[in-house]
Amino acid sequence: KAEELYTRGLVHGTMHLSIGQEASAVGSSSALEPDDLIIHHHRGHGHTIAKGADITLMMAEFLGKEPGYCRGRGGSMHIADISGGNLGATGVVGS
């Protein structure tokens, strides 16, 4: 659904999907304890979901809506859920 919304021009900014990379997110997250923290890269959707994020809030974030994890300001690349232990993405500039 996220890809469809992006293709239709409804997602602000860019979107880096993690299609085909789901196994690495699930595998690495399976070793986490509930109170562990994560920092991901710009393709962090899989890690965010594996850490237990609410997909409805993720979609709100993608669409720039207030109920999103970052009040709709972080978008796809900078999604974070501090209360869930997801500290967000690292910067990709210069990497």
Q: What is the pLDDT of residues 24-76, one digit of tens each?
A: 999 999 999 999 999 988 888 999 999 999 999 999 999 999 999 999 998 88
CA 60 to chain centre: 11
CB 17 within 8 A of CB 45: yes
Q: What is the mean pLDDT of residues 7-28?
A: 88
CA distance 66 to 36: 27
Judged against a pLDDT cut of 60, whether residue 95 lies above it is answered with: no
Neighbours of 87 (CB within 10 A): 13
Question: 0.75 cut: is pTM over it?
Answer: yes
